[in-house]
Amino acid sequence: MNIAIELSDLTKDFGNIRALNHLNLKIETGDIFGLIGPNGAGKTTALRVISTLLLPTSGSVRVFNLDAVHESAEIRKIITYLPEEAGIYRNLSGWEYLEFMAKFSAKNKDQLHETVKEAAEICGLGERLKSRAKTYSKGMKRRLLVARALMTRPKLSILDEPTSGLDVLYSYHVREIIKRYVKEYGVTVLLSSHNMLEVEHLCDHVALVNKGQIVTEGKPQDLKDKFGSQNLEEVFAKVVGFA
């Protein structure tokens, strides 16, 4: 079993508040793994620690066997991270934004061109890529940001609410893109979403986080069987005490 992410006794405190409480988790390479849980459960904090944006208070995080504290620069070369509230430079066009972001990883002009071309196909914005980002709807911005996160075919893509603000059709489009990148390019995906239907149909494995701890994990169907539930929403409600 090849491990993409390994959390060992991961703890994160913000003053007197414990956001993560001795998390232990292993995510296999090539998985689409979903973190679910109520607001304030610690999901986004976990994503940020894994992304090397936050230092853990204690415990360890390894990403493709690289230590997130001592080898953070190497990890950042092989991952992408899409926050829930990510922004775009308002006065750049979509094309200009993608080119700007692609320059951080492209080794030459040909690779830059291919990366931006791939991003254009992912987002499906067509001629609107020539328009300034300040004219985009929330959904259009999100499509551009998802394209930015996948266009370099990273070893690991960390997505916080990837389809936030998208309508049904483009949510479906983004999910199919994510599945294709995992299948064709071996990208490992770690995502968080409040959309239980999305998680159920997209993720190979899920972990439910509550009060900074993982309370259950497994394949979506296995969790439904375990809790006698018809869907992950029912599992979610039962585990956190609403059902």
Contact indicator for 173, 15 with CB cutoff of 8 Å = no
In degrees and rounded to multiples of 5, residue 63 shows phi and psi of -120, 115
pLDDT, position 63: 98
Contact indicator for 59, 9 with CB cutoff of 8 Å = yes
pLDDT, position 226: 93
Q: Outline where DSSP puts E strands in the chain.
A: 3-14, 17-28, 32-36, 58-63, 66-67, 79-82, 156-160, 188-192, 205-210, 213-218
> pLDDT tens digits, the chain, 243 residues: what are they?
699 999 999 999 999 999 999 999 999 999 999 999 888 889 999 999 999 999 999 999 999 999 999 999 999 999 999 998 888 999 999 999 999 999 998 999 999 999 999 999 999 999 999 999 999 998 899 899 999 999 999 999 999 999 888 888 888 888 998 999 999 999 999 999 988 888 998 999 999 999 999 999 999 999 999 999 999 989 988 887 765
pLDDT, position 219: 95
Q: Which residues of 147-156 are buried (b: 16+ CB within 10 A; e: fewer)?
A: bbbbbbebbb
- Model confidence, pTM: 0.92
pLDDT, position 85: 82
Hey, what domains does the chain have and what are their CATH numbers? 3-239 (3.40.50.300)
